[in-house]
Structure 1
C-alpha cells in the first residue's frame, strides 16, 4: 500500500474518526484559560499532578492513582508489581494484547515476565480460558474493549465471574482500560462500578478523551506507592508533566459527558456500512464508539475506492488498511467529536458512493 491513501485521508476537511486534528491547537485550547502564574509539578509532586491523581482515583473508585506519560509504562509497572507480590513471573492476557503486539516485548525484555496467551486471536478470552490455565500466574490482564478484534466486550456478568474466580485463586486482575470511558454506555455502569472488579486499572487520556498524551494507573494505596517508585525507575518522573496533565484534565471534563453520544453515533454509522454490499462491521452492532469495517475485496481495489470517495466528498474514511486475506481488508473507526461536524448531505454521499 502506498502513502496515497494516507495523504488523501489527511487532506480531507472532515473525518469519520477521532476528536479533530492532532496538532498544536489541541494544547493551545487546553491552555487558553490557564493562569500563567500557576506553579508546575516538579518530579511527580505539586498541586497540578496531585489534584488530578486524586480526582481520577475517586472517579475510578480506587484509593490512589499515579499519572504516567504513557500507558505502556503504566501497565508494565502494574504487572511487575503483581509478579513481585505473588512471587511469580508468569501472567496471562489475550493474544492480541497491546503488550504482546505493540511494545517490542518490553514486558519480557525489561521485566523478564513471561506472558501466557489466553484463548485465540479471533475471539474474546473467557472465564473458561482462565480456568484452563495449566500453570499458576501472578495476574491476568483484560482489555476492555478488545481493540484488535473490533472493540468487542464480554458481558458484565462474565466480568463478575472472572473477577470472583481470580480473587478466589489469588490472581491479581488488571484492567487495560485505555478505552474505559467509552464502554460505560454499553454496560450502563459507572467507571467505578466496572473498576470495582479489578485490582488495578490503567486509563488513557488521548484516545476517546483526545488529550495530547498521558495515563493514570490506579489501585490501593500500597500498590500506587510501589508504582511511583517504578515510575521513577522507568524515567517517567520528568521535571514537569503539566502540559500532559492540564491537557488531560481539560479534555476529560470537556468530553466525558459525550460518551453516550459517541456510542449512539457509532451504532448508526455501523448500520450504514452494513447496508453496503461486500462490507460488514465487527462487531455488527458496536458495543462502544469503535468498530472495524471489513471489505470483501482485495486491498488494492478498496484503496482505490476509498481514495476516490475521500477526494470527491471531502470526508476522511481511513488512512490505513489492514490485509486480512487476499480478498479481505479492514480498517478501524473510532467515533468522536469529528463525526458530529460532518454535514449530513456529505455523509450520505459517502455511503451512496460505497454502494455503487
Structure 2
C-alpha cells in the first residue's frame, strides 16, 4: 500500500470512529428513543442496574459459580424448562454454541454438510467458522429474503445431515415463516433423514407471530440456541438446548473450545433478570413495533418521500428494516442532526448501503419505544425528512 493509500485509509477509519462516537453521544443525550439497550449504558449504570434487580431473581448469599455450576446450572434448568427440552448448556457466545451443536449432530448423522440460508449468521458474520473451525460444510438452500420453503429443502440437490433455520432471519428483515410453513420445512428435512437446528438467537419474541408458546416452537427442532443479550438485554451469553445426550457432549466440546469459564455469575445474573423482566414484555414490544411501523410508512408518504419501505410491512417481531432512496451517509447525518438538535433519536442504528442511492437501517422497539404514539412517530419522520433534504442539498 502506498503512503497516499495508507493516509486515505487512515482518514476513512478516523471518520468512522468520529461518527461512531458522535452517534453514541447523541444516543446517550437523547430524551426520546425507540430502544435504549443496556450495553449503551455506562459501566456504573449497568452495575447499579444489576445490583438493583439481581436480588429479585437469585439468592445473592449463595456461593459464586465455578466452571459452570450453581447459578449457571440454575440458569440452564430455567432455559430447558422454558423451551421444553431435556437439558440446556450455557455458552459464552452463540457462535461457539452453534458450531458445537452442528458438529455434534454431524458425528451422529455421519454427514458434515449443513444446509442453511445464504443470510444465516454463520455465513455472514462468523468468518467461515463452520468450515474453518468445526470442519463442517455449509451449503446454501436459498438467498431469497425469506426462510427456505419445504419444496426447496425437499428438492435440494445433495444430501445434508442438518438443516439450520434462523428464526427470525435477521439480515432479511427479522422475518419468520408462518407456523404452517415452518412445520412443513421441518417435515421436509426429516423426510431426508436430516436433523433440524434452530438458530433462535431471537426466538424469544417469535411467539406473537406464530401464535404458539415457546416450548411448542422449540419442540419442532432437534436442538435450539438462544441468546441472552439480543432481546433479553443481558450482558452476553447463550444457551444450547436439546436432548440430554447432545447437551452432555456439547459440554465436552465447550471445554475443548475454551468456553468453560471460571466464573460467569454477572452474565448469568443478567440473563436471569432478562428472563424475569424482559421476556414477559416482548409481546408488548412486538405489538407496539407494528404501530411504529405503520406510523413510519404514513409519515414518509405524508412527507412526500418518492419511495420508502418498511419491511416487513407488519413486523414479525419487535425489530424490522427501513429502506429509503438516499445515500446512507446523508441519512446518517440527518439522523444525528435530529438527535443532537431535538434530543429525539428516531434512527439509532447505522445506515447501510442497500444499493446505489439506497440506504437501509434497522429499527427496534423496546420499553422506551412504548412511550411513542403514532403521532409522535409521524412528527419525528417529518422532521427527519426535512433534515435529509437539508443535508442532501448542502
Report TM bin, short chain: over 0.9
User: 2:336: which partner in 1?
Assistant: 307
- Matching of residues 336-351 of structure 1 within 5 Å: 336-341=366-371, 347-351=377-381
- Matched residues in 1 for 2:308 and 2:376: separation? 20
| 8 Å contact from structure 1 (residues 296, 328) kept in 2 | yes
- Matched residues in 2 for 1:121 and 1:135: separation? 19
- Matching of residues 114-129 of structure 1 within 5 Å: 114-129=137-152
User: 1:239: which partner in 2?
Assistant: 262
- From 306, 315, 320, give the equivalent of 2:350: 320
Given the alignment of the two structures, is residue 9 of structure 1 paired with residue 27 of structure 2, yes or no?
no
Offset of residue 217 of structure 1? 0.4
SS of alignment partner, residue 111 of structure 1: coil
- Matched residues in 2 for 1:345 and 1:212: separation? 34
| 8 Å contact from structure 1 (residues 200, 219) kept in 2 | yes
User: 1:141: which partner in 2?
Assistant: 164
Q: Bigger CA drift: 114-123 or 189-198?
A: 114-123
Gaps of 5+ in 2: 1-14, 387-394
Residues 305-336 of structure 1, C-alpha deviations (whole Å, 9 max, x = no match): 22222222212212411101111110111211
Alpha-carbon distance change, 347 to 158 in structure 1, aligned in 2, over 3 angstroms: closer
Offset of residue 121 of structure 1? 4.4
Gaps of 5+ in 1: none
User: 1:202: which partner in 2?
Assistant: 225
Offset of residue 18 of structure 1? 4.3
Give the structure, 1 or 2, with the largest relative contact order (CA under 8 Å, sep 6 or more): 1
- Matched residues in 2 for 1:176 and 1:298: separation? 32
- Matched residues in 2 for 1:71 and 1:245: separation? 14
Question: How does the TM-score come out when normalised to structure 2?
Answer: 0.85
Structure (1/2) with the larger helix percentage: 2
Alpha-carbon distance change, 326 to 203 in structure 1, aligned in 2, over 3 angstroms: same
Higher Rg: 2
Alpha-carbon distance change, 246 to 232 in structure 1, aligned in 2, over 3 angstroms: same
- Matching of residues 1-356 of structure 1 within 5 Å: 2-3=16-17, 5-10=19-24, 11-12=26-27, 13=30, 14-20=32-38, 21-24=40-43, 25-32=45-52, 33-34=54-55, 36-46=60-70, 48-275=71-298, 276=300, 277=305, 278-316=307-345, 317-341=347-371, 347-356=377-386
| 8 Å contact from structure 1 (residues 321, 331) kept in 2 | yes
| 8 Å contact from structure 1 (residues 124, 154) kept in 2 | yes
